[in-house]
Amino acid sequence: MSTELSATASLRGQPETRQLGKLIMQGLIIALIVGGVAGWLAGQIMKGSGYGLIGDIAIGIIGGWIGTWLWDVLRLPLIANFWISAIITATVGAVAFLFLLRLIRRT
């Protein structure tokens, strides 16, 4: 009887684990897409060209963190559409990040 209970208990946890795995994968894909677009846009705004696929994604993801923090500090309203809001926020943060990197490089 204990094997039936343990088998039932392990089956209950599997859908939750799969759901969590799907959510993590979705979040990663969204971060890569938004980061890539935002990094490319920031590269166009600040330099006139991008930093390559990996560089654009990295700059965009870091910019997403910075942009979200800036939006919160400045108490700016979010746009209703998730994708547009995420790309704008990450692009603003990425531009700020590139600006700070250029200041550091000059000194």
Domains of the chain, residue spans? 28-106
Mean pLDDT of 2-10: 49
Question: Token match 């400045």: residue?
Answer: 74
| Inter-residue long-range contacts of 68-75, CB under 8 Å, 24+ positions, other chains counted | 68/93, 69/93, 70/96
Which pLDDT does position 41 carry in this prediction? 92
Higher pLDDT, 48 or 41: 41
Mean pLDDT for all residues in the chain = 83
Which pLDDT does position 64 carry in this prediction? 93
The Cα 27–Cα 91 span in angstroms is: 18
Query: pLDDT-based confidence at 48, cuts 50/70/90?
Result: low
**For the whole model, what pTM was predicted?**
0.76
